[in-house]
Amino acid sequence: MSAATTDKAGEHFPDQRPDRELTYAEALVEAIAELMKDDPDFFVIGSYVLGLGPMRALFDQVRREYPMRVLDPPTAEIGFTGFGIGAAMNGLHVMVDLSTASFIFEAFPQVANEAANASYMSGGRLAVPIVFHFLHGLRGGGAAQHSHSPQAMLWNTPGLQIIMPSSPADVRGLLPAAIKSGNPTVFVDHSKLMPIKGIVSVSPKEIPLGVAEIKRSGSDVTVVATSYSVQQALPACDELASEGIEIELVDPRTVVPLDRRTILDSVSKTGRLVIVDETHRSCGVASEIAAIVSEEILEALKVPIIRVTVPDVPVPFSPVLERELDTTPERIAAAVRTQMMRKQLSRP
Amino acid sequence: MLPNLGKTDLVELLRKMLLVRRWEERLIRLAEEGPSFGHYHVYVGQETIGIPALAALRPTDLIFPTHRNHGYLLGRGADPGRLLAEILGKETGLNKGKAGTLHASAPELGIPHTSAIVGGIVPIAAGAALAAQVKGSDQVSVALFGDGATEEGVTFEALNIASLWKVPVIFLCENNTEEALGAAAGGYPKSVTAANDLGNIARSVGVPAVVVDGTDSGAVFTAMKVAAERARASGGPTFVEARVVRWPGSNPLWPELIAGETELRYAWEPEAAPELLIRWYRNQDGLLRYLREMLSASLLEKDEAKEIDSEIIQHVEAAVRFARESAYPPPESAYLDVFARPSQ
Ligand SMILES: Cc1ncc(C[n+]2csc(CCOP(=O)(O)OP(=O)(O)O)c2C)c(N)n1
Ligand SMILES: [Mg+2]
């Protein structure tokens, strides 16, 4: 699907067509289709890569074109996840789709205790090129058993790369990079990202893992956000800009590996940090980023860090209760305003 | 065949089945109107499994449902308005808006917990049976699950332990996969198992298994009675598989009233049914079969049936009004109930 053309001498001519606007779901499907086309060893195990929403039918194209390489497993997460891991140990490049993130709990022993340990236990001799894909977070009515964001638990499991795209361009560039990395990788998607539109290059390139993107530059407050929270932070940035507050929005895009440099440089510049993430507050993604900043550049902070996260409460069903826990643009903006109003830390 | 019960009880079962049918149909209409209450599952077409199964149990017996739980809650007597309010996320809901459709439960009615995780409920129901055994009560516990749960390893583990420890549990598997579309065809997931007889999974670990036609209310009732007696007599677990053809409205990923609401006259005038569902109403809908059996045994007249139905429709409308008029819970209540016994 790569749009670059090659002449007889093998020289590359960049595609001259303009970049397009794609939805996140379209970009994800395009990335999967490209992997299918370019890599005969690439397999998808799982049926609901795009979730249960109206965009799910887009995946049918991949099913139709590559029926032998899209496997519909039984509802047997621990079994089919283990199959994916074993297949990856023996030459296949596998994307295991667990659909709703909560279902990875059914597969935890295989992910956390087998895949994550395999390279280390072999003394670095065994590569396991597998991606565990799921849709995390508050999805509207998912309630307690279908709204998890297990990436922080998985981050506490050495041996797993963790990728959290937030835009069509990012998912397009990060999925191929994840598959080609050769390492077990947790690929964290969000059903609310699926309809989001964005510009995607007509000849997309892989995005290297461990490279954050500054989604907005600004000098007043650094906001680090991941996954769908980035989309929630963007309107907050607009609103705050109209109040004269300039946000620097940093999207790590991958947390393992983590681009510490970009985060630390931004906070060194602004002196203020708000971290927005949909994992629960305690031991969440935001906790780790806050700890890193505190350890490395505490003296750069003008005011204490604020975390905007989902409180330590199972996700309730009622829309009113779900909204109360959400990392909404309003909560993000309020946290930023608090930081601007707070008295600066005085140091001896 | 009708369950081996007297006329009053049989009419009561019909009322309950009709309540489930009408309430679920109304729920689909509410989902169409919006706002969305998330992904949900209806019990249409399986009424002749759940309602006779409940009738075969004692009120003190415990039942543990799945994502397809509405029929059991209504069948055990949960208030239709409060169940609906739960699904609309209202404060008056059975679980104060914390559960929604997927997790609605009613501990006071012997439904301690509903799991929407496929297979998740099976060992829990068996564990509740262990407690009954240890306490020496004559309580029976029932694990309710779909054919899909037999694909999960945890179901096998639960069967094995239940067999080893001879706990008083019934594994009631509602196999609705027949004529299902499956995910590959863009529909609801269809079970994918190499076991062409699900009971063999149970038999392999010494749990006796029976298969019944899920549209045959009498067969379901008897199988459950026998299983419950066996459990109470310390005979250990039983696996009951009740087979139905999936209601076509549950074939898409989201339920649809593909040919409108059920009309009772389809029971005696099957040709009046909409083309799309004519076969289903004629041969595969347990509820209409039950009604036909009541009529032909002269236990009920058509007019009486219609009267019961319109009473139930009004009852459901009252439930809708109650749920709609109920307030949403205060947002701060999101932080309550994490622990039933708060530590501070
Ligand atoms: C562990 C887990 N995996 C996947 C799902 C998604 N899911 C919801 S219902 C369902 C199919 C269940 O089929 P079955 O158990 O036969 O019940 P039915 O809905 O047919 O009554 C699936 C796969 C889930 N809820 N839990
Ligand atoms: Mg089923």
- The CATH number of residue A334's host domain is 3.40.50.920
How much is the average pLDDT of B154-182? 95
Residue corresponding to tokens 């622990």: B339
Domain count, chain A: 2
User: Nearest-CA residue of chain B relative to A141?
Assistant: B38
* C-alpha closest to that of A45 among A12, A82, A8, A11: A82
- Cβ–Cβ of B184/A63 closer than 8 Å? yes
**Cα–Cα distance, A38 to A60 (Å, whole number):** 19
Q: In the CATH hierarchy, which top-level class contains the domain B7-263+303-328?
A: alpha beta
Same domain, yes or no: A147 and A217? no
- Choose one of A175, A200, A225: the last residue of a domain: A200
Which residues lie across from B142 on neighbouring strands? B63, B170
| Full domain range(s) for residue A303 | 213-341
B63 pLDDT higher than 50: yes
**Cα–Cα distance, B71 to B63 (Å, whole number):** 12
Same domain, yes or no: A141 and A55? yes
**Which chain A residues contact residue B188 at CB under 8 A?**
none
Average pLDDT, rounded, for chain A: 95
Q: Give the model's pLDDT for residue A73.
A: 94
Mutate to test the interface with A, among B94, B113, B117 (most CBs of A within 10 A): B117
Catalytic residue among A93, A136, A146, A190: A146
For residue A25, the CA-to-ligand 2 centroid distance in Å is 28
Same domain, yes or no: A111 and A240? no
* Ligand 1 contacts CB of residue A75 (under 6 A): yes
A146 pLDDT higher than 80: yes
Residues A136, A105: contact at Cβ < 8 Å? Answer: no
Helix B302-325 and helix B7-33, axial crossing angle in degrees, nearest 10: 40
Same domain, yes or no: A152 and A262? no
ipTM over 0.90: yes
Same domain, yes or no: A29 and A178? yes
In this prediction, residue B193 has a pLDDT band, given cuts at 50, 70 and 90, of confident
DSSP A345: P
Q: Give the model's pLDDT for residue A52.
A: 83
Same domain, yes or no: A231 and A135? no
Q: Give the model's pLDDT for residue A13.
A: 64
Domain contains A15: no
- Cβ–Cβ of B334/A313 closer than 8 Å? yes
Q: Give the model's pLDDT for residue A8.
A: 46
Tokens standing for residue A202? 């007509």
Q: Give the model's pLDDT for residue B300.
A: 97
**Which chain B residues contact residue A60 at CB under 8 A?**
186
- Choose one of A200, A222, A244: the last residue of a domain: A200
Nearest to A141 among B38, B189, B329 (CB): B38
DSSP B111: B
Domain contains A302: yes
**Cα–Cα distance, A73 to A97 (Å, whole number):** 10
Average pLDDT, rounded, for chain B: 96
Q: Give the model's pLDDT for residue B52.
A: 98
pLDDT in tens, A219-260: 999 999 999 999 999 999 999 999 999 999 999 999 999 999
Domain contains A10: no
**Cα–Cα distance, B308 to A167 (Å, whole number):** 55
A2 pLDDT higher than 60: no
* Min Cα separation A289/chain B (Å): 25
For chain B, say whether A65 makes contact (Cβ under 8 Å).
no
Same domain, yes or no: A45 and A96? yes
Domain contains A75: yes
**Cα–Cα distance, A95 to A226 (Å, whole number):** 22
Cβ partners under 8 Å of residue B124, min gap 6: B64, B113, B115, B143
B111 pLDDT higher than 50: yes
For chain B, say whether A242 makes contact (Cβ under 8 Å).
no
User: Nearest-CA residue of chain A relative to B146?
Assistant: A75
* Ligand 1 contacts CB of residue B148 (under 6 A): yes
Which residue among A75, A145, A191 is best mutated to probe the pocket of ligand 1, counting the most ligand atoms within 8 A of its Cβ?
A: A75
- Choose one of A149, A176, A200: the last residue of a domain: A200
| DSSP H or E run through A251 | strand A247-251
DSSP-assigned states of every residue in B141-178? EEEEEEGGGGGSHHHHHHHHHHHHHT-SEEEEEEEEEE
Same domain, yes or no: A144 and A266? no
- Cβ–Cβ of A56/B253 closer than 8 Å? yes
How much is the average pLDDT of B264-292? 96
Q: Give the model's pLDDT for residue A348.
A: 65
Same domain, yes or no: A186 and A259? no
Q: Give the model's pLDDT for residue A1.
A: 39
Domain contains A347: no
Tokens standing for residue A174? 């990060």
Which atom belonging to ligand 1 lies closest to the Cα atom of B189? 11
How much is the average pLDDT of B73-89? 98
How much is the average pLDDT of B297-326? 98
Domain contains A9: no
Sequence spans of domains, chain B: 7-263+303-328
Same domain, yes or no: A93 and A160? yes
CA distances from residue B315 to B18, B26, B106, B308, B318 in whole angstroms, order as listed: 11, 11, 20, 10, 5
Widest Cα–Cα separation across chain A: 69
Cβ partners under 8 Å of residue A309, min gap 6: A275, A276, A277, A278, A279, A280, A281, A284, A286, A327
Ligand nearest to the CA of B117: 1
The CATH code of the domain that includes A158 is: 3.40.50.970
Same domain, yes or no: A231 and A274? yes
Residues A253, A113: contact at Cβ < 8 Å? Answer: no
B216 pLDDT higher than 60: yes
For chain B, say whether A61 makes contact (Cβ under 8 Å).
no
Amino acid at A288: E
Report the predicted TM-score, pTM, of the whole model to 2 decimal places: 0.95
**Which chain B residues contact residue A322 at CB under 8 A?**
334
**Which chain B residues contact residue A141 at CB under 8 A?**
36-39, 89, 100-101
- Cβ–Cβ of B103/A144 closer than 8 Å? yes
Domain contains A11: no
For chain B, say whether A54 makes contact (Cβ under 8 Å).
no
pLDDT in tens, A50-104: 988 888 899 999 999 999 999 999 999 999 999 999 999 999 999 999 999 999 9
Nearest to A74 among B86, B89, B192 (CB): B192
For residue A53, the CA-to-ligand 1 centroid distance in Å is 16
Same domain, yes or no: A263 and A318? yes
Task: Describe chain A by its helix, strand, coil percentages, rounded to 5.
Answer: 45, 20, 35
For chain A, say whether B98 makes contact (Cβ under 8 Å).
yes
Domain contains A179: yes
* Number of Cβ pairs < 8 A linking chain A and chain B: 123
Region of residue A280 (phi > 0: left; psi between -120 and 50: alpha; otherwise: beta): beta
**Cα–Cα distance, B125 to B33 (Å, whole number):** 36
Give yes or no: A146 in active site: yes
For chain A, say whether B147 makes contact (Cβ under 8 Å).
no
